[in-house]
Amino acid sequence: MKELIDSLNDEELLCKQKSRAKWNKEGDCNTKFFHEIVKGRDHINHITEMEGPS
């Protein structure tokens, strides 16, 4: 059973890596698309304010 789970995890990891490689290839070819994605991530990850102790 452990071998099956390990195999499925390996397959999932491979699919993620292939997807990331495809996105990088296509995203880098389309500079506007690539930079829009980066700007969107920066916007989401930006801290606008911090909460103090209540």
H-helix segments, the chain: 2-29, 31-45
The string of pLDDT tens digits covering residues 17-46 is 988 888 777 766 667 777 888 888 888 887
Higher per-residue pLDDT: 13 or 46? 13
CB 24 within 8 A of CB 34: no
Main-chain dihedrals φ then ψ at residue 39, nearest 5 degrees: -60, -40
Domain boundaries in the chain? 1-51
pLDDT of residue 53: 79
